[in-house]
Each structure stands twice: as structure tokens, then as C-alpha cells.
Amino acid sequence: MFKLTRSDLFREAAYVGGQWSTGNSDAYMEIRNPATGEVVGRVPSLSREEVREAILLADHAFQDFRRWTGKARGAVLRKWAALMLENKDDLAQIMTAEQGKPLAEARGEIDYAASFLDWFGEEAKRVYGETIPAPRDNQRITVIRQPVGVCAAITPWNFPSGMVTRKVAPAIASGCTVLLKPAPQTPFSALALCVLAEEAGLPKGVLSVLTGDAVEIGGEIIRSETVRKLSFTGSTPVGKKLMAECAGTVKKVSLELGGNAPFIVFDDADVESAVQGAIASKFRNAGQTCVCANRFFVQHGIYDAFVNKLTEVVKGMRMGRGTEEGVTLGPLIDSNAFSKVSRLVDEARSKGATVLTGGTQHPAGAQFFAPTVVTDVTNDMTIANEEIFGPVVSITRFSDEQEAVALANSTRYGLAAYFYTSDLNRSVRISEALDFGIVGINEGAVSTEVAPFGGFKESGFGKEGSKHGIDEYSERKYICLGNVR
């Protein structure tokens, strides 16, 4: 299935308190390659007792790790980043086998994932507090920042490494310890990262990767009084449920949930760059990202030019196994994802939408949905209201700016939005009017470790990346010194 330079990076075990564990029962989960259906490997389904043990070990490790200097924690993170880059090809192969994305994209994700370790490796030295002039002359007020404690991170399958480091790096930089539950479809990328973390000098117990049943593991860590924080990336329904469960122990919570991003093309846009941006934002990871453009709104005057050019590019895209040279689009993650995308396209077609290309299964395999362009989409179609999470461009025509903004904002989600225009004043007006946490103007690729990533409305709250990322893993403590003479 893959030829790794370092075969020890592929681990069929959970990582608990610094030990590799095959679990204390025979229960396991099988992971299949979404491109071929072949079994990639298996990981143990940990029991509740093992999860409780992992929590104890994380708490124990925290008592020591919290006293480390930021400089020392940062050095480990930066070494870990360097090791990821050294082993990029192996990590990319593991990712492509379990997730399906083309190898070039997987390599790109390793760079992206390592960038969070590197960035927060620097930020670890800058978890600044403040001093505040006191209202009484015999008092002194300071504010220090301290790690939250033991944190839980629950991550999705679409970025098996990137979503892990985006949470784990700021937690470690701040001095927390982390219990990570990776998506059941993609545990091997997370486990490979543990091998390298250990090599970089991360102490035992600071990071554990718990494999097994989501509800059992999730339930155990969320009910725990020891776990003080949950960071979750995944679907909105699961996020809402976990947020409610966290109320039981009043955990600090950050949520990165569904998207439904609008992509608006105004008459004055540059067609070439709008098409390029549309491809970048729509087809990354075969359309399976939460910032993927989900609803295209194109103004009358530029409509034909944009749609024709985009359809031509989409028709030329190469879909296939991620290991094949030149392939830019892989499969969907599983058969449920395939059925959902098919259902959305079929329903749109039956309600009057036009399929210009694609719209069916691709010959590459069972879970490959052909790159698709659908026009004449109206708001009564499910495709206009739900996250597609597949390689399908869904286009609606609009007449004026007001209508475009109203259409774009008419969603319960608020993660990313994109628009193309060459009018400076319009770019200011629209960027301020869009109710989304991330706005790309004449840009379709917005993710970077240096900027705060996070949504509004039902897309969640909390920022990942940037100098603000540490806020989610630290508490401000106000210290008042009185009776100073």
C-alpha cells in the first residue's frame, strides 16, 4: 500500500500517556482506503477504563509541564515541526492511504500542519500578561496567563494532520496537556505525529491519541472534571451536542463547525482570477473542507463568461487515486458522503437546475463523484442550504450588490466568504457587510497559521492560528497585591 522510508511512522496502536497501546480487549476499528476500499490497517477501540487512565496520566504530566518555560516548550514544538518536514513524504503517503487526497495535496498539508508547530513554537515565548495601574495607592495589579489544564481535542478526517497541530500546538505552547480523539477514518496521521513528537522531546503524557468509539471516548472525556477544555472541529449537530454536554462541568469550549461559504463574482471582477480562485476554494480536498465555496453567486453581466470558463477548467480536471501522477482530485471519504452529494445534485436537477458537466459517479471508483458544475440553482433546493462537501459547483445568478449580500448572509453558518471585484469601495462595503469570520477578497485560498481562523453564528466560536490562538488554551489570572508600603 505504501513504501515508507521509516516504517515505524505507521502505528496500529493508540498512544496513551507516552506508551503504545493495543488496548485491553480485542475490540478494534478497521481503516479503509477511500480510493480502493482496501484495508489500510486497524487501531484498538479503547475501553472507558483506558480513557480514564489516559486522563489521569495527562493530569499527572500537566503538573510538571505547566512549570516548563515557554522557551523550552517552544523548542520542542519547533523541533517537532522540523521532523515533520524531514519526514514529509512518509507522512503524505500515510495520509493519502487513509484520506484519499492526492499526494501533492497531502504534502501541502504536512507543510501547513508543521507551520502551526513552528508558529506556536515561537508564540510560546510570548504568552504575555499585563500590569494595570491600581485605583488605590497601596495596591498593585498584575494579570498573568496560565495554561487551562488538561484539554480534549476532537478532530475531523478532512485534514488528518492540519486539524491536529492547529489544536495541539497552541495547547502545548501554553503549557496544557492534550487528549486527542482523531476521526475514526484517519487515525494513522495523528499517530505518526506522536512518533515524531516523542523524538522532538515531548514528555510522556503531554499528548495522548485515543482511538475507538467516538461516543464512548467523547463521553468519558467530556464528563471528566479533570478535563478543562474541549476544542472540536466537525459537524454543527455534533458540535451543538458536545457544547451542551460540556455545560455539565463548565468546560472552556471552542468549536469550528460547518461552513456554507458564499463565493460572489461581481460584474467588475477579473474573470481569469475569479475562475482560478473558484477552483482553489471549491476543489481543494475534492470539495471536502469547511471553507470550500459552497454557493456561487454570479452577477448578470459576467455570468456567461465566468460559467463558460469555469466549466471548461472543471472538464479538464484529473480525478483518480491520490498516488497517481498528475491527479488533482481524489475520492470522497466514504459511501455516505458519496450518497449525500448524489442526492443533492439529483434533487437540484429534479427541481430545474442544469448540470453542465459531471453530475454522476466517476469511472475511477465507487466513491469518486465526477467534478460537477450545476447552474440555475434556487434557494428552495437543498444544495443551496446544506454543505455539499463534494466537488460540485452550485451557481445562482444575481442582479445587484444588495441582493448578493442578502443571499450570501441568508444562512445559519458564518465561517468563510469570498468575493471578486476590482472596485476598491465595493471591496470595503462588502467585506464589512458579510456575516462571516473569514473573508477572501479576490482570493480563494485563505488558510494560514498567521491569521485567526474561526466562524460566526452556527459555524462556532474561538480562533485557531495567529497570536490569538493561545487565548483558547490559557486563562488570565488577576493578582491584586494590597497594603503596599
**Which residues are designated catalytic?**
256
Of 18, 108, 129, 184, which lies in the binding site for ligand ADP, with binding defined by CB under 6 A? 184
Span 54-83, contacts to ligand ADP by CB under 6 A: none
d(CA 81, CA 116): 8
155 vs 411, which CB is nearer to ligand ADP?
155
Which residue from 121, 169, 192, 418 is spatially nearest to 289, judged by alpha carbons?
A: 418
Residue 154 or 446: the one with the smaller Cβ distance to ligand ADP is 154
Q: Does residue 29 belong to the site contacting ligand ADP (CB under 6 A)?
A: no
Q: Count residues contacting ligand ADP (CB under 6 A)?
A: 15
Cell 503524557 sits on residue: 205
**Judged by CB under 6 A, does residue 187 bind ligand ADP?**
no
Q: Give the torsion sign (CA, 223, 228, 234, 235).
A: positive
> Among residue numbers 389 through 448, which ones bind ligand ADP (CB under 6 A)?
none
Calpha distance 183→280 (Å, rounded)? 25
95 contacts 101 by C-beta, under 8 angstroms: yes
Query: Is residue 154 a contact residue for ligand ADP (CB under 6 A)?
Result: yes
Give the nearer residue to ligand ADP in terms of CB position, either 104 or 238: 238
Smallest distance, ligand ADP to C-beta of residue 166, A: 14
Which of 34, 102, 149, 156 is the binder for ligand ADP (CB under 6 A)?
156
- Indicate the SS3 state at residue 379: coil
Stretch that binds ligand ADP, among 37-45, 60-68, 235-243, 408-416 (CB under 6 A): 235-243
Please report whether residue 452 would count as binding ligand ADP according to CB under 6 A: no
Nearest approach, Cβ of residue 334 and ligand ADP (Å): 9
**Which residue of 16, 168, 183, 298 would you call a contact of ligand ADP, by CB under 6 A?**
183
User: Which whole-number Å values give the CA distances from 121 to 166, 206, 214, 367, 436, in the listed order?
Assistant: 12, 15, 30, 39, 29
Instruction: List the one residue from 218, 287, 414, 469 that touches ligand ADP (CB under 6 A).
Output: 218
**Per CB under 6 A, which region of 100-108, 151-159, 269-277, 303-311 contacts ligand ADP?**
151-159
Residues 39, 97: Cα–Cα separation, whole Å: 9
Site membership for ligand ADP, residue 238 (CB under 6 A): yes
Told to check if 39 binds ligand ADP by CB under 6 A, we report: no
Q: Which of 39, 72, 214, 445 binds ligand ADP (CB under 6 A)?
A: 214
Nearer to ligand ADP, 156 or 277 (CB): 156
At 252 the three-state DSSP class reads: strand
Residue 235 interacts with ligand ADP (CB under 6 A): yes or no? yes
Buried b / exposed e along 259-283 (16+ C-beta atoms within 10 A): bbbbbbbbbebeeeebbbbbbbbbb
In this structure, what C-alpha cell is assigned to residue 327? 491527479
Which residue of this chain has its Cβ atom nearest to ligand ADP in the complex? 218
Integer Cα distance of 155 and 159 in angstroms: 9
Distance between CA atoms of residues 292 and 278, nearest Å: 9
Q: How far is the CB of 335 from ligand ADP (least distance, A)?
A: 13
Told to check if 298 binds ligand ADP by CB under 6 A, we report no
Residue 468 DSSP SS3: helix
Q: C-alpha distances in angstroms, 274 versus 99, 391, 440, 448?
A: 29, 17, 11, 20
Among 417, 410, 350, residue whose Cα is nearest residue 377: 350
Q: Applying CB under 6 A, which part among 10-18, 21-29, 56-64, 149-157 lies near ligand ADP?
A: 149-157
Element (H, E) at 438: strand 438-441
Q: Can residue 113 be called a binding residue for ligand ADP (CB under 6 A)? A: no
With beta carbons less than 8 A apart as the criterion, state whether 472 and 170 touch.
Answer: yes
Query: What does the binding site for ligand ADP look like in residue numbers (CB under 6 A)?
Result: 154-157, 181, 183-184, 214-215, 218, 234-235, 238, 241-242
